[in-house]
């Protein structure tokens, strides 16, 4: 339907207008708001389901393909190795070999240290860098992620397991619960991928993750003081107050000066190596090999001086051989199943969040797409298999992935190379770690986690969004002053609180006309915008749901009351029209429709007319189904604010 009303507003969807040559009024033709064709329930449900779970249309590539080709494409989808493996070359292998050897030199000492964070024997860290990387190399879609234990997840699983079972008194039960938690972490990750529910991890905001990671890094570093200072009796609590009390309580009789010399000197060396790598990107290999060099030198120093006889704590024994089966150790019945499930879900989601974020970061750098759901399936599968081969929860490591990227990796084969080096270590080299001091492992972990304290990101968050900064600091202080799990809970709670706040208290704006145009904009953003006498124009910047419908109605009425008072004060014409600009309103439910009905009735009592501007297809369809369009009148629903204003001013001029 076409009406002669006005020009199209620049802030509305582009509409072609024409001037009929024989029209003496020369009024432009303007389209009215269109009503979408009705859909049956099945079509509407199918479209909603497809948009929610299959927005990327993963099946489009299979259209028009033969059955054998579809089978191969399906195989490549589950196992990307069949895709990139066809084009693999010697040149790519050279890059992967160098990258794999480089990250292997970094991962071996880190794995031994991270297993201590999880309160497990050193070999379990090495086990976790052998089997899972092989699974990921076959199923993962990221070319750059380096798989293995990571500091934050190791600390998290260690603290959660310790809350259920004492790792000293009940070592066997603790280890079995660790494998059970790993199994359920894998099930959680794979299920989220298969069911295409990856969007659920997005509820942990970037700001909350920055705060949580920073707090976890501080906590991990503080936990390493027992190794760097040589303290034998150390608190099992992770909060900063308990840790510092434990440190100062043992200052006179618990510190070991030989251990301090080893720990501090090599920590300085490791930090200096990181500084060199950051200053000159070509020397990225320096901080990568610094940990293994530190381990070799420290081990040799302790061996020749027999510093272990002087109170320097050493690793002592690492089990030799490849991963033993642990299927029989996973709890499938009994009270520990629920505990393992709870811990596994938490660790799985945290690991997933970290890995997907890392994968997307490097994918953007190399300009390729990363399928988040496929990544979840790959990570979940490797943790399920890992739980059955004596591994604990593994994920993508940022420090190792960064080294992998800078070392020139081409494909996931770099993970295979790293895995082979770890295998050789398990078969041959583990006895040589007997005299490795715990202090050097503590120093390696401290140097690794320092990079997780992203103060620059926190400063940027403060500048951009104060509410995000509260989420960041809430997660940070929750981890540092209470515990890792409480910090994570605070991070999730504040993230949800922010969503609820934005949903329940959406923004509204009073619009005015930019002089010389038909554009209507927020008067707070554009002070030069002029208000239209007798007309109040309010924009709602959100969907209108049950959670915010009352607020939206009350806020619009408050804008109206304020403008009525202002008009009386300065002697302007009485307000006769309220225009609600609905372009940003992407959806509305029955509560929102009732709110508009109440608003309409309220305006009727005030002798005012409600006008709607540019409701979207979903909104106008629901307004029509509820017959609200009949109450308001289809002639009072316009495509553009400028059309509505022209209508209001024309009608005002016609009234006596």
Using alpha carbons only, what angle is made at residue 550 by residues 549 and 551, rounded to the nearest 5 degrees?
90
State how far the Cα of 167 lies from the Cα of 170, in Å rounded to an integer.
Answer: 6
Pairing relation of β-strands 637-638 and 508-513?
A: unpaired
b/e sequence 551-577, b meaning 16+ C-beta within 10 Å: bbbebbbebbeebbeebeeeeeeebbb
Cα dihedral value 559, 565, 569, 570, nearest 10: 40
Say what the pTM is.
0.81
pLDDT at 497: 87
pLDDT at 655: 66
Question: Measuring CA to CA, which residue among 448, 357, 387 is closest to residue 144?
Answer: 357
Element spanning 578, H or E: strand 577-581
pLDDT at 14: 35
For residue 279 the two structure tokens come to 């200053």
Count Cα neighbours of 610 within 13 Å in the Cβ-side half-sphere. Answer: 25
CB of 418 closer than 8 Å to CB of 107: yes
Q: In sequence order, what E strands does 167-219 have?
A: none
pLDDT at 268: 96
DSSP states of 213-258: HHHHHHHHHHHTHHHHTT-SS--S--SHHHHHHHHHHTTTTT--HH
Count Cα neighbours of 290 within 13 Å in the Cβ-side half-sphere. Answer: 25
Backbone angles phi, psi at 22, to 5 degrees: -100, 5
For residue 551 the two structure tokens come to 């607020």
CB of 8 closer than 8 Å to CB of 30: yes
pLDDT at 22: 45
The single residue listed with the structure tokens 């150790």 is 329
* Residue 627 CB coordination number (10 Å): 11
Q: Is 251 exposed, middle or buried (0-12, 13-18, 19+ CB in 10 A)?
A: exposed
State how far the Cα of 146 lies from the Cα of 411, in Å rounded to an integer.
Answer: 11
Domain ranges of the chain: 94-314+325-496, 507-653
pLDDT at 111: 94
**3-state secondary structure at position 588:** strand
Q: If the chain, 656 residues long, is cut into consecutive pieces of 10 residues, what is the mean pLDDT of each piece?
A: 39 37 50 75 77 72 80 86 90 93 93 94 96 95 93 93 92 96 97 84 82 92 92 87 91 86 95 91 88 95 91 90 95 94 94 88 85 90 97 92 90 96 94 93 93 92 92 92 87 86 92 94 95 94 94 95 92 92 94 95 93 93 91 90 91 74
DSSP states of 65-120: --HHHHHHHHHHHH-THHHHGGG--HHHHHHHHHHHHHHHHHHHHHHHHHHHHTT-
pLDDT at 224: 93
State how far the Cα of 404 lies from the Cα of 409, in Å rounded to an integer.
Answer: 6
pLDDT at 6: 38
For the domain made up of 507-653, the CATH class stated in words is alpha beta
**3-state secondary structure at position 396:** strand
Handedness of CA 554, 560, 564, 566 (dihedral sign): positive
């Amino acid at each position: 339907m076409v009406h002669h009303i006005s020009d199209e507003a620049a802030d509305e969807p582009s509409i072609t207008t024409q001037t009929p040559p024989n029209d003496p009024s020369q009024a432009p033709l303007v389209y009215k708001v269109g009503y979408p064709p009705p859909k049956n329930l099945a079509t509407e449900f199918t479209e909603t389901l497809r948009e929610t779970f299959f927005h990327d249309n993963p099946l489009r590539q299979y259209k028009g393909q033969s059955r054998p080709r579809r089978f191969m494409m399906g195989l490549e989808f589950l196992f990307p190795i069949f895709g990139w493996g066809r084009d693999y070359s010697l040149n790519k292998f050279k890059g992967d070999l160098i990258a794999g050897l480089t990250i292997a030199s970094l991962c071996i000492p880190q794995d031994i240290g991270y297993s201590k964070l999880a309160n497990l024997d050193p070999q379990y860290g090495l086990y976790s860098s052998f089997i899972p990387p092989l699974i990921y190399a076959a199923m993962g879609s990221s070319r750059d992620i380096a798989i293995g234990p990571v500091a934050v997840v190791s600390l998290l699983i260690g603290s959660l397991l310790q809350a259920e079972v004492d790792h000293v008194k009940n070592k066997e039960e603790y280890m079995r619960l660790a494998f059970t938690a790993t199994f359920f972490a894998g099930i959680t990750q794979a299920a989220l991928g298969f069911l295409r529910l990856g969007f659920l991890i997005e509820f942990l905001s970037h700001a909350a993750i920055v705060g949580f990671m920073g707090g976890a890094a501080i906590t991990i570093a503080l936990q390493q003081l027992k190794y760097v200072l040589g303290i034998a009796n150390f608190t099992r609590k992770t909060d900063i107050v308990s840790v510092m009390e434990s440190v100062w309580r043992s200052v006179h009789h618990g510190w070991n000066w030989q251990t301090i010399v080893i720990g501090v000197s090599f920590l300085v060396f490791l930090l200096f190596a990181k500084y060199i790598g950051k200053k000159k990107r070509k020397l990225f290999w320096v901080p990568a090999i610094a940990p293994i060099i530190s381990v070799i030198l420290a081990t040799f120093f302790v061996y020749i001086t027999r510093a272990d006889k002087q109170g320097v704590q050493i690793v002592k024994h690492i089990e030799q051989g490849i991963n033993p089966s642990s299927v029989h150790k996973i709890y499938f019945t009994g009270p520990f199943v629920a505990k393992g499930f709870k811990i596994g879900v938490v660790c799985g989601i945290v690991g997933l969040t970290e890995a997907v974020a890392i994968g997307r970061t490097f994918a953007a750098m190399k300009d390729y797409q990363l399928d988040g759901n496929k990544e979840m399936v790959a990570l979940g599968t490797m943790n399920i298999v890992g739980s059955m081969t004596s591994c604990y929860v593994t994920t993508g490591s940022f420090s190792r992935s960064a080294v992998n990227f800078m070392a020139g990796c081409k494909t996931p084969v770099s993970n295979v190379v790293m895995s082979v080096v770890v295998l050789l270590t398990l078969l041959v080299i583990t006895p040589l770690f007997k005299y490795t001091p715990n202090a050097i492992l503590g120093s390696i972990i401290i140097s690794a986690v320092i990079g997780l304290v992203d103060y620059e990101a926190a400063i940027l968050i403060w500048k951009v969004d104060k509410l995000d900064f509260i989420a960041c600091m809430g997660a940070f202080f929750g981890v540092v002053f209470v515990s890792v799990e409480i910090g994570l809970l605070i991070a999730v709670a504040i993230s949800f609180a922010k969503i609820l706040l934005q949903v329940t208290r959406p923004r509204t704006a009073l619009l005015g006309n930019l002089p010389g145009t038909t554009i209507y904009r927020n008067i707070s953003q554009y002070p030069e915008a002029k208000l239209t006498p007798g007309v109040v124009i309010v924009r709602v910047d959100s969907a209108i749901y049950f959670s915010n419908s009352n607020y939206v109605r009350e806020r619009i009425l408050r804008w109206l009351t304020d403008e009525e008072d202002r008009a009386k004060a300065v002697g302007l014409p009485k307000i006769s029209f309220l225009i609600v600009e609905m372009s940003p309103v992407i959806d509305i439910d029955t509560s929102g429709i009732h709110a508009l009905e109440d608003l309409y009735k309220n305006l009727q009592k005030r002798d005012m007319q409600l006008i709607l501007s540019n409701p979207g297809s979903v909104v106008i369809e629901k307004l029509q189904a509820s017959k609200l369009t009949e109450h308001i009148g289809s002639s009072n629903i316009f495509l553009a604010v400028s059309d509505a204003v022209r209508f209001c001013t024309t009608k005002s001029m016609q009234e006596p």
